Structure 1
Amino acid sequence: MNHLPTRPATRFAALAATLVLALPLTSSPLAAATAVAAAAAEPAAPAAPAKWTTRVFSRVPAPGYPAYVHAHTNGRVYAGTYVNGSATGVPSRVFEWTRGGQLLRSWPVPGQVLDGSQGVQVAQQTRDGRLVVLETSRRRLLTLDVRTGRWKRIATFPDGSVPNYATWGPRGELYVSDYARPVVWRVPPGGGTPRAWFTAPALNGTELGTTGLVYRPGRRDLVIAQQWVLDGTQLPTTGAVLSLGVRPDGRPGKLRTLWRSGPMELPDGFGIGRSGHLYVALLGTNQLVELTGRGVEVDRFPDVPLLGSNGSAVPFDAPCSATFLGTSVLVANQSAITGTAANQAILRVEVGERGRRPYLPRQARLGG
């Protein structure tokens, strides 16, 4: 449902009537006319964009394939380039934009295997402002100091892992989802060896596994997006948004299903609004779906799947994340299936509410 802005003419009429009624009875018609003219001269406040209004925030240069978009506390916006099978010999990059979408600079990722399997996800930030970067070719957890350009390796995940999304926990631990294995990893406060903190058949998606991961401190749970759920509890090719409790002693709690997707919708990254609503990117059907905090679907955009028609110059093409910036979400348009360079962009989609900042505790530090 779209939010219809108040018509300027209606606002003007109401203001003029108020001014006329507020005039003393001895005021002349000329004074009344002057007051009305003064009201008319005041510029009307710009109307807020209608819900789901979409525009291009920025195109993403080569090597393209943008992943999760991170809105930093320094006011800048960051995204990495993800797996690109054709980009042999080309390192992944981390790009930086202003909040208005102006590209400022970028950094190549050092030490990658450049066989086409390379990719990076700017997954989080530390308390002191370094970017938390997940690198796929060598399964590394890295940090990038955007003030100095210095990279640092923090940890390496076991063979067969594809580190995907990350979120801070209540004690300064870092939880990391794994796209290839049914595991949520836990990196201890300050850094160290990742440990398999939680594993379950529900996180087994074969080639289409676990994606978005966000900690909700008010509910003390991790919200997890799963592209396919192959544990027999639902139809194959359908995904889910799950809730996994975090107990006060730091152990995992119960895993519950909040919402089940349709076939091949492939839920990916998501943002959480101040209302508690979740805005989830559906990579498979080129849509965004809005859920309540308990997983009830309330809206989706666009209505027609697959076509990606959003009213902007760039259609949705494998949208893979939704990050709040003001009252809109930044959607990374990865074009992972078609590989269309012209569609590899970050789109800004109005949702009509502000978002909750990603959880960033005081202990959110890595590497000293």
Structure 2
Amino acid sequence: MKNKRVTLAAVTVGAALVTATPASATPADCAAGIVHFDLAAGRQPENVVLEPDGSADVTFATARQVARVDRAGRTRILATLPAPADGGVHTPALGFPLTTGIVRTGDGTLYVLYATGTDDLTGLWRLRPHGTPERIAALPGNGLPNGLALDEHRGRFYVTDSVLGTVWTIPLGGGKPAAWSTAAELAPAGFLGANGAKVHDGALWVSNLDHGAIVRIPILPGDRAGTPRTTATGVTGVDDFAFTGRGDEILAALDSPNEVVRITADGRSSTVLDGTDGLQNPTSIAIRGSEVFVLSAAYLTRTDPNLLRTRLSGRR
């Protein structure tokens, strides 16, 4: 990681090459620190949430799957969402169905977003431990639900729609979505707008891919959206992001530039990881303590989708 303002240090973990079946190979089949996924099987990781034991639950976007990668690098498919009758050709902006955001509640239930271009399948899906996926909230088929954030204290989900430029809110138990914000800062500018989403410090923070920006929207009493404020610009290709635990400091995945950047509270950004570290169009980041998990979907490189584990420097 030469010539970079390094805030991350690589850590070595055993990991396994993911094949087209749930079975996995041995740790010797992979590079240190990286779990490699099968591109031909559509296993392009889009979003991630961590389990208490350090496993990572991921969505495989084009395979329509939810999977768990344990700390040894073994991958197990938890569920495959139903394919749309038309193959998903009407999914806005993309033309194929995909699983996107994922969050986890304290009881181990996973919630996943699914976009198909059809009204019968697009929406928020629930996957209870050892259960089967069920849709608990329908979202517009002409939209692209992408980022998913959970506020368990308020009992609400927040969903970004990258095509409609909307943040939806949905009760924890499911039901009819309500448009929470349609601010101009969420709109696309030719491709995809509002993308990643995180609840942090009394606000919903949203990335906008087309605008290369991070936006903070206060959550007001009554679950109303406050006035948006752009906190960072110039982060071209920003996808999902995570807070490091150091105030408003962010690590963000930049898809097309193939970088992970550190964004300080005053909006300045610096590159901390790039293709030399194994990135292949990073899509999302999860952080627990000093550990950082970075997903790469290889949407543009078409080479080696993977999960990279790193460590925040100066922390144990």
TM, length-normalised to structure 2: 0.80
Identity %, equivalent residues: 26
Q: Cα distance 1:212–1:50, how it changes in 2: closer, same or farther (>3 A)? A: closer
Of 249, 266, 272, the residue aligned with 2:243 is 272
For the pair 1:192 / 2:175, whether they are aligned, the reply is yes
For the pair 1:176 / 2:153, whether they are aligned, the reply is no
Per-residue CA distance 1:222-244 (angstroms, 9 max, x = gap): 11111123xxxxxxxxx101111
Residue 15 of structure 1: aligned partner:
none
Of 229, 245, 252, the residue aligned with 1:256 is 229
Per-residue CA distance 1:158-199 (angstroms, 9 max, x = gap): 131111111123411110011111100010242111111100
The residue type equivalent to 1:225 in the other structure is S
Runs ≥4 residues deviating over 4 A:
none
Aligned equivalents of 2:314, 2:58: Cα separation in 1: 23
Per-residue deviation, 1:329: 1.5
Per-residue CA distance 1:10-42 (angstroms, 9 max, x = gap): xxxxxxxxxxxxxxxxxxxxxxxxxxxxxxxxx
Aligned equivalents of 1:112, 1:145: Cα separation in 2: 22
Q: Is the 8 A contact 1:66 1:333 kept in 2?
A: yes
Of 309, 329, 348, the residue aligned with 2:276 is 309
Aligned equivalents of 2:194, 2:310: Cα separation in 1: 24
The residue type equivalent to 2:198 in the other structure is V
Residue 132 of structure 2: aligned partner:
150
Aligned equivalents of 1:195, 1:284: Cα separation in 2: 32
Q: Is the 8 A contact 1:78 1:122 kept in 2?
A: no
For the pair 1:110 / 2:89, whether they are aligned, the reply is no
Per-residue deviation, 1:75: 4.1
Aligned equivalents of 1:70, 1:254: Cα separation in 2: 28
May I ask how many residue pairs the two structures share in their alignment? 277
Residue 347 of structure 1: aligned partner:
308
Q: Cα distance 1:353–1:190, how it changes in 2: closer, same or farther (>3 A)? A: farther
Aligned equivalents of 2:7, 2:203: Cα separation in 1: 32
Q: Cα distance 1:111–1:50, how it changes in 2: closer, same or farther (>3 A)? A: closer
Matches within 5 A, 1:327-338: 327-338=290-301
Residue 34 of structure 2: aligned partner:
57
Aligned equivalents of 1:120, 1:153: Cα separation in 2: 13
Per-residue deviation, 1:115: 4.2
For the pair 1:72 / 2:51, whether they are aligned, the reply is yes
Which SS does the other structure have where 2:141 is aligned?
A: coil
Matches within 5 A, 1:85-124: 92-113=64-85, 114-115=87-88, 117-124=96-103
Q: Is the 8 A contact 1:287 1:319 kept in 2?
A: yes
Which SS does the other structure have where 1:228 is aligned?
A: coil
Residue 199 of structure 2: aligned partner:
215
Residue 112 of structure 2: aligned partner:
133
Q: Is the 8 A contact 1:328 1:353 kept in 2?
A: no
TM, length-normalised to structure 1: 0.69
The residue type equivalent to 2:165 in the other structure is P
Q: Is the 8 A contact 1:77 1:97 kept in 2?
A: yes
Judging by fraction of residues, say which structure has more strand.
2
- When Rg is computed on C-alpha atoms for both structures, the one with the higher figure is 1
Aligned equivalents of 1:354, 1:105: Cα separation in 2: 32
Per-residue deviation, 1:353: 6.2
Per-residue CA distance 1:285-334 (angstroms, 9 max, x = gap): 1111111234333x3124xx7xx112xxxx31210111114413111111
Per-residue deviation, 1:261: 1.6
Which SS does the other structure have where 1:202 is aligned?
A: helix
For the pair 1:293 / 2:250, whether they are aligned, the reply is no
Residue 25 of structure 2: aligned partner:
none
Q: Cα distance 1:102–1:289, how it changes in 2: closer, same or farther (>3 A)? A: same
Per-residue deviation, 1:149: 3.2
Aligned equivalents of 1:118, 1:112: Cα separation in 2: 8
Residue 18 of structure 2: aligned partner:
none
Q: Is the 8 A contact 2:114 2:123 kept in 1?
A: yes
